[in-house]
Amino acid sequence: MTNEFQTIRRKQEDDEEQFLRKKRVLADKDAELYQQKTETLRSLDDLADRTRHYLQDFVEDRSGLHRAFQMIGMARDEVTTLYNKENTSIEQQLEAEEREYRKRQSAYEQALQEARSEET
């Protein structure tokens, strides 16, 4: 193996490590986002249950209680919408990283082939 060949391989391996780190960061970000969404929705469900349990017998005008449940429902929808937007953004970032990584890997493979052909 020539020095050039080894240099190209080293760059290719470094690039792969860097790509895997970025991929892991995005996966962690996605997992954290999902966890936040789940916890927030659980808290909103708990709020709705407590509201129903504690206020149902004491509220004479049901419209106020109904409005509270609508607001909780709207908050749930907003959390889900925000999660979906962020999740889509993370997926797009990952797809872009993968495209760029494949391009770079292809260029490295071509450079390796050229180095091999120069050896012979």
Closest CA to 12 of 114, 113, 106, 115: 106
Query: Which pLDDT band holds residue 1 (cuts at 50, 70, 90)?
Result: low
The pLDDT of residue 3 is: 86
State pLDDT tens for residues 36-85.
Answer: 999 999 999 999 999 888 877 777 777 888 888 999 999 999 999 999 99
Q: How far apart are CA 77 and CA 80, in angstroms?
A: 5
Domain CATH number, residue 90? 1.10.287
Amino acid type, 10? R
Structural domain boundaries, residue 20: 3-119
Domain total of the chain? 1
Q: How far apart are CA 25 and CA 5, in angstroms?
A: 30
Q: Could you tell me the two tokens for 34?
A: 């999902």
Closest CA to 107 of 3, 12, 22: 12
State pLDDT tens for residues 95-116.
Answer: 999 999 999 999 999 998 888 8
8 CB neighbour count, 10 Å cutoff = 19
Q: How far apart are CA 113 and CA 101, in angstroms?
A: 18
